[in-house]
Amino acid sequence: MTVWFTSDTHFSDPRVLRIDRRPYPDLPAHDAALIANWNAVVAPGDTVWHLGDVALRPTAAWIAEILGTLNGIKHLIVGNNDGPDTLQAEGWASVGHYAEIVVDGRPLVLCHYAFRTWNGMGRGALDLHGHSHAKLTPIPKQYDVGVDAQGFTPVDLPTILASRRARKVGGRKAEPSP
């Protein structure tokens, strides 16, 4: 069983095509691609932490329908665009604004928003967040797990850790690959 992280899917939100310039011709293609990408990596028994901003103004029934198409046991960390219908939709194993968990022996702090400091920071805890749509310069031990930063796919902890190491070349940061 693998633990996955994602954020800022923004299902049915036309703003992401315009503002974030996501590479999809329209919202149905966007939503279908995110669902396909999710299900390509997440198995039914895996755990997924969605760090907020699931969809734009959905009904609880519509969110439950989307959640029903997505593999895994899903936990929601509330984002600024997650309204009452999203929070109350069937399909969430838990809903909260913040969580501290341990994966592969590594303490993780989960919130929709990036922190400047966080609990356990000096003891190796990582800050996983969304909200910034890959536009925030990370600080050490902080990772944006939003779909814009992670190839529109949920990521596991080894992938998250490798993403930072892969960007270093000869002791300095390399330009991110397209």
The 10s digit of each residue's pLDDT in 112-156 is 999 999 999 999 999 999 999 989 998 999 999 999 999 999 999
Q: What is the per-residue pLDDT for 58? A: 77
Q: What is the per-residue pLDDT for 177? A: 34
% of the chain at pLDDT higher than 90? 78
What's the half-sphere exposure (Cβ side, CA atoms, 13 Å) at 112?
17
State yes or no: pLDDT of 171 exceeds 80. Answer: no
Q: What is the per-residue pLDDT for 32? A: 96
Mean pLDDT of 40-61: 93
State yes or no: pLDDT of 170 exceeds 70. Answer: no
**Average pLDDT over all residues of the chain:** 91
Q: What is the per-residue pLDDT for 24? A: 94
Q: What is the 3-state secondary structure (H, E, C) of 7-42?
A: ECCCECCCHHHHCCCCCCCCHHHHHHHHHHHHHHHC
29 to each of 4, 18, 96, 132, how far by Cα in Å? 23, 14, 30, 23
Q: What is the per-residue pLDDT for 59? A: 85
Residue 122: DSSP 8-state: G
